[in-house]
Structure 1
Amino acid sequence: MTTSTTPSPFTETTGPARHAAFAELATTGPVQKVMLFTGVPAWVVTGYAEARELLAHPALVKIEGGGPHMDAMPPDLNAAMNTHLLGTNPPDHTRLRRLVTAAFTVRRIEALAPRVQEITDALLDALEGEGDGPVDLVDGFGFPLPITVITELLGIPPGDRADFRRWSSVTVNGTVHPPEVYVDAARSMVGYVRELIGAKRADPGDDLLSALIAVHEGGDRLSVDELTSMVFLLLVAGHETTVNLIVSGTYALLRNPDQLALLRAEPDRLPAAVEELLRYDGPVQVTIPAVAAAPIDVGGVTIPAGEIVLPALLAANRDPSRFPEPDRLDITRPSNAHMAFGHGLHHCLGAPLARLEGRIALGTLINRFPRLRLADPAGEPARNPGLLMNGLVALPVVLG
């Protein structure tokens, strides 16, 4: 099969161009071989049924210990960053998930709701205090809410959170940064987390990192590399993705005033609205890259062994064969079995936390500011380039 030459959705940063590029790619079939902007060929899977099949396929495996700029990453640093759930396969994955699930419980997440509400209210107080002019919903609300939640959950002191923001921004979007910048950020974050682990061992707290350190099954515990990698994964899955959910969700509602009005009139629809926003413009473009361990027949093509596969969650969630009128936001949509959190073995462990933050953040924002509107209704906000994440660079709004 020839490699597709359609526009790369990963480098499309203007308004709806990313969704349009995925849709154009899908017109030639649900499974297409493309040349990524990194110069690496990969199979991008845009079909819902095909992506779901592949995410549960035993021959599709994660590239263990893999990540951006592997040629520049020292082995010890790579192990400290990438020995986590999304970068391992059974039986290692099974063991890790069992240990992590024992600490990252539903009860712990549900107990965060009052604190998430407090943080939300304080951030919106601060935004309202800036006056009548436009405010950026990314810097002022979307980013600080989940970074505060995840750093408090991990037990990271408030004075260290600005450094975490800088490091996580680079490590999450590693493919768009030079190797030396990525390695420097990774080394700084790993060094800090190792010191924090030492402090938590000596003086445990009522936080997730202390719980991860303490959890054990028989004689089995998480190693230091597994602990540092889990912190990195939580920053990606529990922070960057939630920023995108809150900001893109707000933008989608403001662009669809009929749906926003319905949600305000019937607030009980909020959980369903969050699910539809996750489907409509989800926070993740593709899953962490995987590789075919053996030839895989899917979508009318054969993916040869050894080749990279990227199930495109963003595209699958707008597959017209699964979702009628997929480009229309509809918070009453029935049977909304989207794949924004993946599927199968690597389904996102932090999905309940993302949903909790999304419900509280969006519900509070739209109820508190009934005149909330886009600062530039005619403009199209830019998206961040990159392979994994799908989020807006900024979203200027007027609170009213």
Structure 2
Amino acid sequence: MLRKWARFMVYKLNDPAFLENPADQLARMRAEGPLVRMKIPLLGTMWATTTDEATRKLLKSPDLFRRDPGPITGRSLAQKFWWLPRVIKPMLHTMIVTDDPAHARQRRLVEIAFARTSIEDMRPRIEAIAHRLLDALPQTGPVDIVAHYTRQLPFLAICELLGIPESAHAALTRRIAPLSAVSNPITAVYAMARLGGVQRDFHAMFARARAEPPGPGLISALVHTDDNGAKLSEEELLSLTLLLFLAGHETTVHLINAGIVALAGDAALTRHFINTPDTRHLFVEEIMRSTTPVTLTKPMFAAQDTDVLGANIRKGEMVAALLIAANHDPDRVDAPQELRPERRPNAHLGFGFGPHVCLGMQLARVEAVTALTALFARHPDLRLARPPGWLNRAGFRAPGRVVLDLRR
């Protein structure tokens, strides 16, 4: 019965009404069932979870729901999405779209490399980046804080983590700029096509790292990491570096922007944030839960016909975890529509869950707390100069623009 009538329901993750207040649509989806059918631009029709229980069940069942459709359907991701630009094909081999044992091997090697670079040790350098950017803010008129601050800080931080030299920053910034303007399939394909230059830059960095002894930065660590003779191939190095570079700053931009918008619109909340430094990390966790900048995971594929909480999913069908549904599930979260700056407990799924949980979540947390702390320490009375709107991109929920009156 669920399969019959669910096909006629229409749910849009980039509908302005949903972005402004997801409660109504999420309630309709939950009323239909723990999983519903929906259509996602570029990806097609798939099942999506609507509850915390269903989302966790999906994400902790990697043997039943696979990232690589090849062994299940006979068509790899590259074949399924044959129309993608050639330069984006390395992203179809990253560990977020691979299964064990390949996923476990790549993740283990990345974790070994990560262990050599302490995220907490980076905090003073991230703070220095924040203050340098704030020093350079325009002194008059409304300030586009995204262009001048919130996009640059995570970019410079991930460059610091990866060990990307300053001489490469300008070219990389120019080449990834179209990604921030993606609003439809045409702009998405154009933005992806521009990644060719980024890939060439990274190949050159790998070659330099191999020719030198192990040095600072994650690229050098990845190149030289050896786990009992296992090393990353050139293709794996490229896909992992692209993943860390792109996901390592794009999502954090949205998290910081959401935090700024929430604080700028609420003087009492701003005072609380400024006056209780020991709970700022809780505020960031609540912004991640409440906003859920990445609303949907990459699709997975059912390895066999299966029943998930009453939904009859056929072998090969796509299924995705709707993270925002889990984060706003009233059966799991008390008053999910309320923004509670010290919410405890807060077991949100904004960074994912299970074996594919976000590798960069600790860096994102440090960046967000640092960015918000530095900005509001200097400009405690800042306000929005115009309504922020919402980013028009399916799968994301984040402010579309953040223009501030800094009230110096």
TM-score by length of 2: 0.88
Q: For the structure 1 residues 199 and 13, does the alpha-carbon distance in structure 2 shift closer, same or farther, using more than 3 Å as the test? A: farther
In the alignment, which of 40, 46, 51 is matched to residue 44 of structure 2? 40
Shift of 1:295: 2.6
In the alignment, which of 178, 185, 199 is matched to residue 176 of structure 1? 185
Q: Summarize the alignment of residues 315-334 of structure 1 with structure 2, pairs less than 5 Å apart.
A: 315-334=325-344
Shift of 1:107: 4.9
Question: d(CA) in 2 for partners of 1:305 and 1:98?
Answer: 29
Shift of 1:166: 4.3
Return 65-74 or 248-257, whichever deviates more. 65-74
Instruction: Read off the aligned partner of 1:137 and give its amino acid letter.
Output: I
Question: d(CA) in 2 for partners of 1:290 and 1:106?
Answer: 32
Return 167-176 or 311-320, whichever deviates more. 167-176
Q: Deviations over 1:372-393 (max 9, x none)?
A: 11113xx3x2222333333222
Question: d(CA) in 1 for partners of 2:266 and 2:9?
Answer: 33
Return 181-190 or 259-268, whichever deviates more. 181-190
Q: For the structure 1 residues 49 and 152, does the alpha-carbon distance in structure 2 shift closer, same or farther, using more than 3 Å as the test? A: same
Q: Which residue of 2 aligns with 1:81?
A: 91
Secondary structure at the aligned position of 1:220 is classed as coil
Q: Deviations over 1:150-180 (max 9, x none)?
A: 1122222324323323444556859733686
In the alignment, which of 298, 308, 315 is matched to residue 298 of structure 1? 308
Q: Which residue of 2 aligns with 1:56?
A: 60
In the alignment, which of 198, 218, 227 is matched to residue 237 of structure 2? 227
Contact 1:52-1:343 within 8 A present in 2 as well: yes
Shift of 1:32: 0.7
Q: Which residue of 2 aligns with 1:190?
A: 199
Identity of aligned residues (%): 32
Q: Which residue of 1 aligns with 2:283?
A: 273
Shift of 1:300: 2.4
Q: Deviations over 1:7-38 (max 9, x none)?
A: 41135488605665445433433311012233
Contact 1:288-1:388 within 8 A present in 2 as well: no
TM-score by length of 1: 0.90
Instruction: Read off the aligned partner of 2:154 and give its amino acid letter.
Output: P
- Gaps spanning 5+ residues in structure 1: where? none
Question: d(CA) in 2 for partners of 1:361 and 1:87?
Answer: 31
In the alignment, which of 369, 374, 385 is matched to residue 359 of structure 1? 369
Q: Which residue of 1 aligns with 2:9?
A: 5
Q: For the structure 1 residues 270 and 183, does the alpha-carbon distance in structure 2 shift closer, same or farther, using more than 3 Å as the test? A: closer
Contact 2:179-2:188 within 8 A present in 1 as well: no
Secondary structure at the aligned position of 2:37 is classed as strand
Question: d(CA) in 2 for partners of 1:15 and 1:42?
Answer: 20
Q: Which residue of 1 aligns with 2:357?
A: 347
Q: Does 1:90 pair with 2:95?
A: no
Contact 1:83-1:226 within 8 A present in 2 as well: yes
Q: Which residue of 1 aligns with 2:158?
A: 150
Question: d(CA) in 2 for partners of 1:21 and 1:337?
Answer: 22
Secondary structure at the aligned position of 2:334 is classed as coil
Secondary structure at the aligned position of 1:111 is classed as helix
Return 169-178 or 281-290, whichever deviates more. 169-178
Q: Does 1:388 pair with 2:395?
A: yes
Shift of 1:133: 1.9
In the alignment, which of 378, 381, 385 is matched to residue 375 of structure 1? 385
Question: d(CA) in 1 for partners of 2:315 and 2:178?
Answer: 32
Q: Which residue of 2 aligns with 1:70?
A: 81
Q: Does 1:248 pair with 2:253?
A: no
Q: For the structure 1 residues 83 and 15, does the alpha-carbon distance in structure 2 shift closer, same or farther, using more than 3 Å as the test? A: closer
Secondary structure at the aligned position of 1:366 is classed as helix
Instruction: Read off the aligned partner of 2:153 and give its amino acid letter.
Output: L
Q: For the structure 1 residues 15 and 35, does the alpha-carbon distance in structure 2 shift closer, same or farther, using more than 3 Å as the test? A: closer
Shift of 1:199: 1.7
Q: For the structure 1 residues 372 and 78, does the alpha-carbon distance in structure 2 shift closer, same or farther, using more than 3 Å as the test? A: closer
Return 386-395 or 286-295, whichever deviates more. 386-395
Shift of 1:3: 1.7
Shift of 1:365: 1.6
Question: d(CA) in 2 for partners of 1:154 and 1:234?
Answer: 8
Instruction: Read off the aligned partner of 1:3 and give its amino acid letter.
Output: R
Q: Summarize the alignment of residues 209-224 of structure 1 with structure 2, pairs less than 5 Å apart.
A: 209-224=219-234
Secondary structure at the aligned position of 2:404 is classed as strand
Contact 1:81-1:190 within 8 A present in 2 as well: no
Question: d(CA) in 1 for partners of 2:381 and 2:192?
Answer: 44
Q: For the structure 1 residues 323 and 258, does the alpha-carbon distance in structure 2 shift closer, same or farther, using more than 3 Å as the test? A: farther
